[in-house]
Amino acid sequence: MINRAVLVGRLTRDPELRTTTSGISVASFTLAVDRQYTNAQGERGADFISCVIWRKAAENFCNFTSKGSLVGIDGRIQTRSYDNKDGQRVYVTEVVVDNFALLESRKTREAQSQNGGFTPNNNGNVGTGNAPSTPSSNNSQSNGNTSNNNDNNDSKKDKPKDPFAGSGDTIDISDDDLPF
């Protein structure tokens, strides 16, 4: 049997950290996950998924996330029930998080919240995704309607990037060092 849930979305509020009577940390939060398709008015809907995370992971999650944080989670769907204070049976379906990933930096999220939802572009300037009106001579930018310097961009894409370029250190790897 398989019970896996993988979600990417934004927190609808700050996670709520509690401690059980036995001293185990548990955090609950709601994740807003956009739907893939738009409705007749062109609006994209969202699903609001209840999630719970336990122990040290819960403490870390609460320390590094807040309302609006973009996170990825991996977990399993769980159903449970309990009797509320009025004696009524309440059924709950939630995702129990096994792993999570922070998908944007704190700096990016703070810049987004300070600028009304706009994210910084590559130059550190705040924008809506449109390119500046004055492109530089070496690095032409486009807003998606036109394509400039396709020959230069294509040749750069074909070359693999050396992750160790410019480090000044030489790397000596023999065949014995490789795991395959």
- Assign residue 94 the CATH number of its domain: 2.40.50.140
Residue 132 lies in a domain: no
Residue 166 lies in a domain: no
Residue 49 lies in a domain: yes
What six digits make up the tokens of 144? 């998606």
CA angle 124, 126, 131 (to 5 degrees): 90
Residue 37 backbone zone (phi > 0: left; psi -120 to 50: alpha; other: beta): beta
Q: How far apart are CA 11 and CA 31, in angstroms?
A: 5
Which residue segment(s) compose the domain that 72 sits in?
5-108
Q: From residue 104, how far is each of 47, 108, 109, 150, 171 by CA, in Å? A: 21, 7, 7, 29, 31
Look up the pTM and report it: 0.59
pLDDT, one tens digit for every residue, the chain (180 residues): 999 999 999 999 999 999 999 999 999 999 999 998 888 888 888 999 999 999 999 999 999 998 889 999 999 999 999 999 999 999 999 999 999 999 988 777 777 666 655 544 444 444 343 433 333 444 444 444 444 444 445 555 566 666 666 666 666 667 777 666
Contact 125, 132 (CB under 8 A): yes
- As for how many domains the chain has, the answer is 1
Contact 67, 12 (CB under 8 A): yes
